[in-house]
């Protein structure tokens, strides 16, 4: 049995110092945490210095509020140092993080210690960046750090939402519950994101195909028909629609490079404008107001906001901190501004309802349900219900958008190609008539 001296923080964030007797470092960490403390440094005290260390620890506990105590007999290398390898700066796939969180929640909920659970998941982890992160996390925890402190070393993998929820779970002793909520949150968010992306893939593919087919006809096919018409009709006037198509073909052939450069220039200019604060705000506002996709983007934004805030609040994260985290994860500056107004309102002791109602992103039903949640003290539950409702609305909006866009794009493609075919067919009728008349 050895004596370990520790520095830890209580639930209020106050520093505590003391000693524990344990068989090894991990047992000592567990003993400190059993007292409701979060160890930040831990070191074994030599046998000769143990009595003095215990006495110093008792004095240090009494004087902790007045002044920080000296480390005494603790080894100098026990300070928890968290480092992040350079190649871990990149993000990993959401699926990998979600799967890890779900599996860890299952293992912890089954009674397996956190460290053992991480070690189990390390052995089956295939993603090299996640594996390296788990190795660093387990080392930091073994050195006396908390799980949430270890996660902060990998901000590209574990964002503020993840870290703060884990921290709240550790403080409340419900880490397995919080991990389950995180996994559920990530799964639902990814599901909504994939549905929105999926709804956009088909229209983009059809649009690209339409542009490609039209360009091919104008550049490669129409000039050959034009040559035939010149040879067979001897300069006779062509139908108006045929002449229009030929003029369009000649314009594209003569200015193809300029058209391509113009498209690239517009794209680059939009990117540059989008990097400015006002430009980014304009484009974010435009996304919410577009006639076809605006409703889908709005419902998706409301769902993400309410689910994020509801998940944080239900996990025990304070309201102001929850609003700050939610604000930083919205991805839309219009919504970010609205949440900042909500944050300022709550900070002044006022309700969330007024600033939410002033922002046109949130429908009246949302603000009304938030108001009821505040009045009844069930805001987290109400926000989750709103998120579930809007998840269903996003599903319906995606289905409706897909059902409306598919036939519309097919009709557009048919009209474009059909117009070109008809334009080329009309002179052919005249040519056939001329040849038949000459043969008769």
DSSP conformation letters of 233-258: HTTPPPPHHHHHHHHHHHHHHHHHHH
Model confidence pLDDT, tens digit, residues 330-354? 778 888 888 888 888 888 888 888 8
pLDDT of amino acid 257:
86
User: Do the Cβ atoms of 20 and 28 come closer than 8 Å?
Assistant: yes
pLDDT of amino acid 24:
77
- Is the pLDDT reported for residue 133 higher than 50? yes
Compare 84 and 382 and report the one with higher pLDDT: 382
- Is the pLDDT reported for residue 261 higher than 70? yes
CA proximity to 144, closest of 89, 211, 82, 207 = 82
CA proximity to 20, closest of 329, 30, 389 = 30
Token pair listed for 378: 């069930």
pLDDT of amino acid 41:
67
Distance of alpha carbon 332 from alpha carbon 185, whole angstroms? 19
pLDDT of amino acid 423:
86
Return the SS3 of 93. Answer: coil
Sheet holding 15-22, edge to edge: 15-22, 2-9, 38-45
Q: How many CA atoms lie within 13 A of 99 on its CB side?
A: 12
Distance of alpha carbon 247 from alpha carbon 227, whole angstroms? 13
Rounded mean pLDDT of 42-69? 51
Return the SS3 of 40. Answer: strand
C-beta atoms surrounding 10 within 10 Å: 14
pLDDT band at 82 (very low <50, low <70, confident <90, very high): very low
Distance of alpha carbon 42 from alpha carbon 86, whole angstroms? 27
Domain 88-158, what fold?
Receptor-associated Protein (1.20.81)
- Is the pLDDT reported for residue 85 higher than 50? no
pLDDT of amino acid 64:
45
pLDDT band at 268 (very low <50, low <70, confident <90, very high): very high
Distance of alpha carbon 260 from alpha carbon 271, whole angstroms? 17
CA proximity to 14, closest of 82, 79, 62 = 62
What are the structural domain ranges in the chain?
Answer: 2-64, 88-158, 184-440
The dihedral over CA atoms of 200, 201, 203, 205, expressed in degrees to the nearest 10, equals 160
């Amino acid at each position: 049995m050895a004596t370990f001296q520790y520095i830890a923080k209580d639930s209020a964030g106050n520093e505590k110092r003391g000693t524990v007797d344990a068989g090894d470092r991990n047992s000592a960490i567990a003993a400190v945490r059993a007292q409701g403390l979060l160890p930040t440094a831990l070191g074994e005290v030599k046998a000769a210095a143990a009595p003095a260390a215990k006495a110093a620890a008792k004095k240090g506990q009494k004087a902790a509020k007045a002044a920080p105590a000296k480390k005494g007999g603790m080894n100098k290398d026990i300070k928890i140092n968290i480092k992040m390898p350079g190649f871990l700066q990149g993000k990993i796939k959401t699926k990998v993080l979600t799967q890890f969180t779900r599996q860890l929640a299952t293992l912890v909920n089954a009674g397996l210690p956190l460290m053992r659970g991480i070690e189990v998941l390390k052995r089956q982890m295939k993603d090299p960046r996640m594996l390296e992160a788990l190795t660093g996390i387990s080392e930091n925890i073994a050195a006396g750090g908390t799980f949430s402190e270890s996660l902060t070393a990998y901000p590209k993998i574990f964002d503020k939402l993840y870290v703060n929820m884990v921290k709240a779970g550790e403080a409340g002793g419900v880490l397995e519950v919080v991990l389950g909520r995180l996994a559920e949150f990530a799964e639902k968010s990814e599901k909504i994101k994939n549905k929105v992306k999926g709804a956009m893939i088909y229209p983009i593919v059809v649009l690209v195909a339409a542009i490609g087919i039209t360009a091919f006809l104008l550049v490669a096919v129409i000039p050959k028909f034009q040559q035939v018409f010149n040879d067979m009709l001897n300069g006779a006037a062509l139908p108006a629609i045929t002449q229009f198509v030929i003029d369009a073909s000649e314009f594209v052939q003569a200015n193809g490079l300029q058209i391509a450069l113009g498209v690239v220039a517009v794209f680059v200019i939009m990117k540059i404008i989008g990097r400015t604060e006002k430009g980014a705000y304009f484009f974010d506002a435009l996304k919410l107001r577009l006639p076809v996709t605006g409703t889908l983007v709005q419902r998706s934004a409301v769902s993400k906001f309410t689910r994020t805030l509801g998940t944080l609040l239900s996990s025990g994260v304070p309201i102001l901190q929850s609003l700050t985290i939610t604000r930083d994860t919205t991805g839309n500056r219009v919504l970010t501004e609205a949440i900042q107004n909500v944050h300022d309102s709550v900070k002044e002791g006022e309700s969330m309802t007024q600033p939410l109602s002033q922002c046109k992103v949130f429908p009246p039903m949302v603000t009304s349900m938030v108001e009821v949640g505040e009045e009844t003290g069930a805001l987290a539950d109400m926000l989750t219900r709103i998120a579930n409702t809007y998840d269903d609305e996003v599903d319906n909006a995606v289905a409706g958008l897909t059902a409306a866009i598919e036939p519309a794009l097919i009709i557009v493609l048919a009209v474009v190609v059909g117009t070109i075919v008809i334009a080329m067919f009309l002179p052919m009728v005249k040519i056939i008539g001329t040849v038949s008349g000459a043969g008769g």
